[in-house]
Amino acid sequence: MPDRRCTERSEKQESMSRFIFPKWLDAIRPLLLLILAGGPAYLIAMGYYGMWPSTRTKGYMPKQPVPYSHAIHVGKLGMDCRYCHTTVEKSSHASIPPTATCMNCHQAIRPDSPKLLPVRESYASGEAVEWLKVHNLPDFVYFNHSAHVTRGIGCVSCHGRVDKMEEVWQEAPISMGWCLDCHRAPEKHLRPVEFVTTMDWAPGEDQITLGKRLREENNINPSTDCSTCHR
Amino acid sequence: MSVAENRVATDKPSFFGYLVEFDNVDSLIHAAEKVRDAGYTNWDAHTPFPVHGMDRAMGIRYTKLPLVILGGGLTGLGGALLMQWWMNAVNYPYIISGKPFWSIPANIPVMFELTVLFSALTTVFGMLAFNKLPQWRHGVFSSARFARATDDRFFISVEATDPKFDAKKTADFLAGLGGSEVEALED
Amino acid sequence: MSENRDVQLELGRTPLVIGGRDFHAVTEMVSSVVERRKWPIGWYIAFTISAGGLGLLGAMIGWLFYKGVGVWGVNNPVGWGYAIINFVFWVGIGHAGTLISAILYLFRQRWRTSINRFAEAMTIFAVICALVFPGIHVGRPWLAWWLFPLPYPQNMWPNFRSPLLWDVFAVGTYFTVSLLFWYVGLIPDIATIRDRATTKIRRVLYGFFALGWRGSHRHWHRYEVAYMILAALATPLVLSVHSVVSFDFATSQLPGWHTTIFPPYFVAGAIFSGFAMVLTLMIPCRTIFGMQDLVTMRHLENMCRILLATGMMVGYAYSIEFFIAWYGGNPYERFAFINRAFGPYAWGYWTMVSCNVLSPQIFWFRWARRNIGVMFVISIFVNIGMWFERFVIVVSSLSRDFLPAAWAYYRPTWVDIATFVGSFGLFMTLFLLFIRFLPMMAMAEIKGVMPEAHPHHGPDPAERRGTDLGGPTLQPAGALGRGREQ
């Protein structure tokens, strides 16, 4: 029953190449499959990598108004963290030192250094030096320095080896998952309270054994409720 | 037959096999039975819809696909169970509405859904894999009239790679099946 | 719907394809729609309107994201408003597609073949519309991916004990499986369009999506097994989806929601609304594209019967809710239902009852089941009534909850209404694209139920009768069936 219209169609088709697809298309089928399956997987993986806090926020190192070097002051001169960050054991905030703290020494040491010009200006005018906050938590997160420091979480556990940083950068991702890691297993980071500011302290024994003992002795049971941090 | 013999004479590597056309289901089934009985293995019937009784006429064994799907379904079921247990009872145990961390009834809906999801994905991709699809390029497409295999005509193709294939004898055999004249396919 | 019906059909009832069509005529009739060079001006008008609706939806979502959920009418105590109503409405619409494609397939109802593609497409587009709402209602839409159990930087996982999460899995699975089922059904038909294509670009595009289908019977064999298994998977799935949606309400403690009847009641309502939507779309399409020989009056009559049956099921559910409210002796429950029928939202309740329970009663009459105009009007009524059902359930229960001091009257804002209207734009845009570019009826399956498809050969008559009676063989429906052969 050759329908007239159908015949016409066949003739039209005859004029075109009968094969629609080239032979190599079938040869590259595995590659095509790989692209179809692997392409989205690659994009998702890249999205994840880009969005992950360790990619986004780790390594944040803003340019400070004064080229203050923690490496010199802490690493070389051996100053204690608490000389400047005075409230770290008593308050939720560790406090940025006032210009007066700098001038305690710098009235005598290198009083003419051009690098210290903003500090001297600040001292003269009474306007604070506009330091930039490196470790900036979101407003919906409540964090208390004293609660951590007085229970034996060392500065280095979160801030890294500040004594080796010319300029301070953000060492930890400070994501919620990162906080929870420690809240779920604080023994990984606990140390005797007297060593909290010691940058190069190392446990004399296995950290986990020591941590567990310190946990037991000091009854350290960090909460993981939402309201612990989101108040 | 002339076209076919021309091809036979050259017998180039591009020669794919033979195609013969039928215009109704009955003659297709009779022909398929004869091809099957002649001992060919690398041959196929092409129809616009699945024809009742062709499995027997072609001697097709029932596919193993359901077994694979069962595997897919069980993976979904077990995966869902493990996932919910690990996520809600082990890695992130959390009290909500006083419900237990781990109880089977609360996990049944997700277990069911993932069983269905994994089975369905296995079904479709398993079917395509068993059929070696997608295969955009195939020798049967070299025939102009093969376009009607998806419309209203029925075809039998025998590939040259069949161990019983013989350019002359097979062509004669196919010509005797009651279909159209035998067409040579190339690829 | 007895399975014997098919046998009766074979024995001389109205055939499923009329007008003396042969295989080629079926191909021609369905494919020619897709192959039209010039589309009727009506299509362009409809498409412009739909695309405008889609634009409205986009604008409303943009406005919502820009301003926040405050632009919606939700507030205490009605914290769930149009978003969940529209979500349940659209998911429900989708159910008829799966019912037609999967459940009727397993029950060997061959009349489904010429409407199943259409209904499946409707399912997919309806589920897309439904998925929009949970996606945009979360307040911080850029965090919507937290719905899924993916590793987050927060080291947390979703709560698998919540029905809202079950919903994510149920609707997500439903969408995926519907899409796979639809595509698998389309493969042979896309191949048909490919083989008829006269331009290079059509051949390449349809050729690509046909995956090189060549009608090989070795392929058909696995294809049919796969299709049947997909149908068998989709059947419990579709019943589970609206059950899980109903859990969102039923597992709460709010009077009017906290009832065990919800899962079957929701499933019946979903099928009811879905069939109404199939009719609403099918009737104009059939007339415009001259498909009267494929979608026969018998198809439409069957759908009207299903509307009547499922309409009475939801009517039964409405009345049993009242009975249990009285019989259960819970004063809060009793109040919730008196409030539902006679409270501030009584207008919604009685709209629902008249559209859903009363209006389909006309289908008791044969003339009404065979009258296109009546069917179309009733199907619209049912769509309206089923939207109001969700409105009544969500709003009337929430607006007067346990705390009388907090009672309030919920009013949607213009953004709510425009978003809902816009979702129809999305639905119709997708639908119009579908009928323009894809074969709207399953050609291969229609050919399979035509008398010429049956070989008059071997032990077939007996085998075929066995199939039609639904014997215990591992066979798909009707003519597509074959035995377990060696």
In tens, the pLDDT along C293-305 reads 888 888 899 999 9
Report the amino acid identity of residue A120: R
Residues of B whose CB is below 8 A from C480: 49-50, 52
pLDDT band, residue C45 (cuts 50/70/90): very high
Q: Please check whether residues B19 and B100 belong to one and the same domain.
A: no
Q: How far is Cα B79 from Cα A78, in angstroms, rounded to an integer?
A: 55
Backbone phi and psi for residue B156, each to the nearest 5 degrees, phi listed first: -125, 130
Structure tokens at A36: 């179809």
Average pLDDT over residues A50-75: 90
Q: How many CB atoms lie within 10 A of CB A29?
A: 16
CA distances from B57 to B21, B155, B182, C98 (A): 17, 14, 20, 33
Which of B67, B151, B153 is most worth mutating to test chain C (most C CB atoms within 10 A of its CB)?
A: B151
Q: Where are the beta strands (DSSP E) in chain A?
A: none
Residue A15 pLDDT > 60:
no
**Given an 8 Å threshold on Cβ–Cβ distance, is A23 in contact with B142?**
no
Average pLDDT over residues B140-151: 90
Euclidean distance between the first and the last CA atom of chain C, given in angstroms as a whole number:
33
Which of B25, B107, B112, B116 is most worth mutating to test chain C (most C CB atoms within 10 A of its CB)?
A: B116
Average pLDDT over residues C280-301: 87
Q: Higher confidence at residue C457 or residue C185?
A: C185
Q: Please check whether residues B98 and B179 belong to one and the same domain.
A: no
pLDDT band, residue C456 (cuts 50/70/90): low
Which of A11, A14, A20, A29 is most worth mutating to test chain B (most B CB atoms within 10 A of its CB)?
A: A29
CB C249 within 8 A of CB C257: yes
Q: How far is Cα B121 from Cα C183, in angstroms, rounded to an integer?
A: 12
- Sort C328 into a burial class: Cβ within 10 Å, 0-12 / 13-18 / 19+: exposed
**Given an 8 Å threshold on Cβ–Cβ distance, is A53 in contact with C153?**
yes
**Given an 8 Å threshold on Cβ–Cβ distance, is B152 in contact with C217?**
no
Chain A residues within 8 angstroms (CB to CB) of chain B: 6, 9-10, 13-14, 18-23, 25-26, 29
Question: How far is C119 from chain B, CA to nearest CA, in Å?
Answer: 19
Q: How far is Cα C393 from Cα A164, in angstroms, rounded to an integer?
A: 64
| B63-79 pLDDT per residue, tens | 999 999 999 999 999 99
CB B130 within 8 A of CB B63: yes
Question: Measured between CB atoms, does A175 come within 8 Å of chain C?
Answer: yes
| A115-143 pLDDT per residue, tens | 999 999 999 999 999 999 999 998 999 99
pLDDT for C111: 81
Average pLDDT over residues C371-376: 94
CA B23 to chain centre: 23
Question: Measured between CB atoms, does C10 come within 8 Å of chain A?
Answer: no
Of B48, B65, B99, the CB nearest to C222: B65
Backbone phi and psi for residue A190, each to the nearest 5 degrees, phi listed first: -70, 145
Q: How far is Cα C340 from Cα C332, in angstroms, rounded to an integer?
A: 12
**Given an 8 Å threshold on Cβ–Cβ distance, is C24 in contact with A9?**
no
pLDDT for C15: 63
**Given an 8 Å threshold on Cβ–Cβ distance, is B53 in contact with C458?**
yes
pLDDT band, residue C151 (cuts 50/70/90): confident
- Where in the sequence is the domain holding B179, given as residue range(s)? 14-61+133-186
Residue A1 pLDDT > 70:
no
Among B111-125, C39-53, C444-458, C472-486, the least confident range: C472-486
Q: Please check whether residues B105 and B25 belong to one and the same domain.
A: no
Which residue from C419, C400, C402, C418 is spatially nearest to C410, judged by alpha carbons?
C400
DSSP string covering A62-124, please?
PPPSS---HIIIIIIT---HHHHSTTTTTSSS--PPPHHHHHHHHTTSSTT-GGGHHHHHHHH
- Sort C310 into a burial class: Cβ within 10 Å, 0-12 / 13-18 / 19+: buried
Of B44, B96, B138, the CB nearest to C217: B44
pLDDT for A17: 53
* Residue B104, in any domain of the structure: yes
DSSP, collapsed to helix, strand or coil, labels residue B21 as: strand
CB C109 within 8 A of CB C479: no
The H or E element spanning position B184 is strand B183-186
Question: How far is C290 from chain B, CA to nearest CA, in Å?
Answer: 20
| B34-57 pLDDT per residue, tens | 999 999 999 999 999 999 889 999
Residue A207 pLDDT > 80:
yes
Report the amino acid identity of residue B69: I
Q: Please check whether residues B69 and B149 belong to one and the same domain.
A: no
Of C22, C198, C204, the CB nearest to A9: C198
Average pLDDT, chain C: 87
Question: Measured between CB atoms, does C202 come within 8 Å of chain A?
Answer: no
The domain spans of chain A are: 23-56, 69-96+137-229
DSSP, collapsed to helix, strand or coil, labels residue A165 as: coil
Q: How far is Cα A19 from Cα A13, in angstroms, rounded to an integer?
A: 10
Domain total in chain B: 2
pLDDT band, residue C115 (cuts 50/70/90): confident
List B157's β-bridge partners, or say none.
Answer: B19, B44
**Given an 8 Å threshold on Cβ–Cβ distance, is B137 in contact with A14?**
no
The neighbours of chain C, by the rule of 3 or more Cβ pairs under 8 Å, are A, B
List B18's β-bridge partners, or say none.
Answer: B158, B184
Percent over 70 (pLDDT), chain A:
92
CA distances from B92 to A179, A186, C163, C167, C349 (A): 14, 16, 18, 21, 44
Q: How far is Cα A84 from Cα B128, in angstroms, rounded to an integer?
A: 69
**Given an 8 Å threshold on Cβ–Cβ distance, is A10 in contact with B134?**
no
pLDDT for C14: 57
**Given an 8 Å threshold on Cβ–Cβ distance, is B137 in contact with A19?**
yes
Question: How far is A202 from chain B, CA to nearest CA, in Å?
Answer: 29
Q: How far is Cα B109 from Cα C169, in angstroms, rounded to an integer?
A: 8
Q: How far is Cα C270 from Cα B112, in angstroms, rounded to an integer?
A: 20
CA C352 to chain centre: 19
Of B25, B97, B124, the CB nearest to C226: B124
pLDDT band, residue C18 (cuts 50/70/90): low
DSSP, collapsed to helix, strand or coil, labels residue B23 as: coil
Residues of A whose CB is below 8 A from B148: 6
Structure tokens at A147: 């609660």
Residue C10 pLDDT > 60:
no
* Residue B127, in any domain of the structure: no
- Sort C356 into a burial class: Cβ within 10 Å, 0-12 / 13-18 / 19+: buried
Q: How far is Cα C267 from Cα C262, in angstroms, rounded to an integer?
A: 8
Question: How far is B59 from chain C, CA to nearest CA, in Å?
Answer: 6
pLDDT for B4: 44
pLDDT for A5: 39
Average pLDDT, chain A: 88
Question: Side by side, which strands form the sheet with B183-186?
Answer: B43-46, B154-159, B15-22, B183-186
DSSP, collapsed to helix, strand or coil, labels residue A158 as: helix
ipTM score for this prediction: 0.91
Structural domain ending residue among the three candidates B74, B93, B119: B119
pLDDT for B181: 86
Residue B81 pLDDT > 90:
yes
Question: Measured between CB atoms, does A225 come within 8 Å of chain C?
Answer: no
The domain spans of chain C are: 2-143+177-451
Of A5, A9, A177, the CB nearest to C153: A177
The H or E element spanning position A189 is none
Among A22-26, C14-18, C37-41, the least confident range: C14-18
- Sort B55 into a burial class: Cβ within 10 Å, 0-12 / 13-18 / 19+: buried
Residue C55 pLDDT > 80:
yes
Question: Measured between CB atoms, does A203 come within 8 Å of chain C?
Answer: no
pLDDT band, residue C279 (cuts 50/70/90): very high
* Residue B101, in any domain of the structure: yes
Q: How far is Cα C483 from Cα C486, in angstroms, rounded to an integer?
A: 9
Average pLDDT over residues A82-103: 93
Residues of A whose CB is below 8 A from B141: 18-20
Residue A185 pLDDT > 50:
yes
**Given an 8 Å threshold on Cβ–Cβ distance, is B51 in contact with C217?**
yes
CB C317 within 8 A of CB C356: no
pLDDT for A76: 93
Q: Where are the beta strands (DSSP E) in C220-331?
A: none
Report the amino acid identity of residue B25: V
The neighbours of chain B, by the rule of 3 or more Cβ pairs under 8 Å, are A, C
pLDDT for A58: 86
Q: Which residues contact B157 (CB under 8 A, 6 or more apart)?
A: B17, B18, B19, B20, B43, B44, B45, B46, B139, B140, B185
pTM of the model: 0.87
Backbone phi and psi for residue B19, each to the nearest 5 degrees, phi listed first: -130, 140
Question: Measured between CB atoms, does C204 come within 8 Å of chain A?
Answer: yes
pLDDT for C20: 61
CA distances from B75 to B85, B117, B122, B123, C234 (A): 15, 10, 10, 13, 18
DSSP string covering C46-105, please?
HHHHHHHHHHHHHHHHHHHHHH-GGGSS--SS--S-HHHHHHHHHHHHHHHHHIIIIIHH
Q: How far is Cα B168 from Cα B105, in angstroms, rounded to an integer?
A: 68
**Given an 8 Å threshold on Cβ–Cβ distance, is B144 in contact with A13?**
yes
**CA of B152: which chain A residue's CA is closest?**
A1
**CA of B187: which chain A residue's CA is closest?**
A23
CB B115 within 8 A of CB B70: no
Structure tokens at C343: 């409270």
**Given an 8 Å threshold on Cβ–Cβ distance, is A175 in contact with C156?**
no
Residue C94 pLDDT > 50:
yes
Backbone phi and psi for residue B95, each to the nearest 5 degrees, phi listed first: -80, 125
pLDDT for C293: 81
Q: How far is Cα A105 from Cα A111, in angstroms, rounded to an integer?
A: 9
- Sort B88 into a burial class: Cβ within 10 Å, 0-12 / 13-18 / 19+: buried
Dihedral angle computed from the Cα positions of residues C413, C418, C420 and C426, in that order, rounded to the nearest 10 degrees: -160
Residue C471 pLDDT > 50:
no
Residues for chain C: how many in total? 486
Structure tokens at C85: 């109503």
pLDDT band, residue C96 (cuts 50/70/90): confident
Residue C458 pLDDT > 80:
no
Percent over 90 (pLDDT), chain C:
65
Residues of C whose CB is below 8 A from B117: 169, 172-173, 176-177
Residue B2 pLDDT > 60:
no
Considering only CA atoms, give the Rg of chain B.
25
